[in-house]
Amino acid sequence: MVSFLTAIGVMACLYLVSLPPLSVAFSMRAFLPKSAGLARSALDATALEELAKLTTLSIDSGDLDVVEKFAKTGLITDATTNPLFVSQAGSKGDVRYEAMVDEAIMYAKESMGGGDANLPDPEAELNLAIDKLAVNLGARLTALVPGRVSTEVDIRLSYDTEASVERARRIIQMYDEMGIDKSRILIKLAGTWEGIQAAAILEKEGIQCNITLVFSFLQAAAAAQAGAYLISPFPGRILDWFKSKNGKEGYHPTADPGVLAVKRMYAYFRKYGYKTICMPASWRPSRGASIEGSDVDEILALAGIDEMTIPAPLLESLNARDGNEVTKECDADLDAA
C-alpha cells in the first residue's frame, strides 16, 4: 500500500513539474475594491450564477464532498481531475478513498495474474492500478455531475502516441466495465505533437479528448485541426511566463497576455468553423495577488467563453461577489476582427 501511494505521489509531482514556468470595453466594477461597489440587493444574483448563464462551468477538484456541494447548486456541469487529485484521494484517510485504492490494487493484481506474489516487473501492475484508481474516482464524480469527467493519461507518455492511445483505450474500457458510457468521459492528453496525434486517432474511434497543457496558439490550432473535442489552455501559466520575462507585477485583465492568448484561440475556432471547445484552466490574479478581488480577474475577463474549469476556492470567491460584476467579455466575432 505504501509503495503504491508513493507511486501516485510521484505521478502527481511529474504532472506538476511538467507545467512550464509560463507563463476595450470592460466592466470596471469587477476590478474595484468591494467597498467601491454598489450596495448589494437581496435580489441580486451572485457572480457565479451570472457566469453560469454565459459559460458552461466545470469544477477542478477530486474532492467528492466539494464536488457534490457545488453540483447541487445546478451551476456546475462537468468535473476535471489530474494526477495530483488522484494522489490526494489515495492519501486522504477517508474510507471512501481507501476503498478506491484497495479496489484498484486488487483489480490490477487479478488482471495481471499476480495475486499476492511479486511480479518480475511490477511497473505494469502499478500503472494499471494507478489508472484504475483514476477511473474509480472519475466514476464517483460521474454520479455527482450531469456532464463529462476528464481522466488523464499518464503524463510520462506525453511523447509516445501509440502508448497514449493504448492507455486511453484501457481507461475507457475500465469505465465501460463499471457501466459508464464513453460519452461521459474526456481523455486528457498533453498538448504535445504526439498527444495531439493520439487525440486524432481516438476521436475517430468515438473517444472524446481534452488536450491539456496548452500554452500557445499553435497547440490550440493543431488540436482543433486534429478534431479534439476540447482544449484546456492555461492563461495563468502564460501570464506567469510574461511576468517573469518583463518584470511586470501585474496587468489590467483586458491586457493580461494569458487572457489575450485564450481569446485568440477561441476566436480562431469559431471563425474557421472548428467545433473544438475552449475550456481555460489554471488561473492567476492579473493585477497581482495583493490587489483585493484579483483572484478571479482572468475568469471574469473570459466570461462568455465556451467553458471554464475552476477550483473550489475560486468558485467560492465568485459566489461571494455581485452578479452585476459579470458581463460577456469573450466574443469570438469581435476578437477575430
Q: Compute the C-alpha angle 245/251/256, nearest 5°.
A: 80
Q: Which residue has the cell 504535445?
A: 192
Catalytic, 188? Answer yes
d(C-alpha 263, C-alpha 257), whole Å: 10
Closest C-alpha among 185, 156, 190, 150 to residue 60? 150
Write out the chain in H/E/C secondary structure: CHHHHHHHHHHHHHHHHCCCCCCCCCCHHHHCCHHHCCCCCCCCCEHHHHHHHHCEEEEECCCHHHHHHHHCCCCCCEEECCHHHHHHHHCCCCHHHHHHHHHHHHHHHHHHCCCCCCCCCHHHHHHHHHHHHHHHHHHHHHCCCCCCEEEECCHHHCCCHHHHHHHHHHHHHHHHHCCCCHHHEEEEEECCHHHHHHHHHHHHCCCCEEEEEECCHHHHHHHHHCCCCEEEECHHHHHHHHHHHHCCCCCCHHHCHHHHHHHHHHHHHHHCCCCCEECCCCCCCCCCCCCCCHHHHHHHHCCCCCEEEECHHHHHHHHCCEHHHCCCCCCHHHHHC
Catalytic residue among 132, 188, 243, 263: 188
The cell numbers describing 215, all together, are: 500554452
Q: Whole-angstrom Cα distance, residue 185 to residue 174?
A: 11
CB of 168 within 8 A of CB of 194? no
Residues annotated as part of the active site: 188
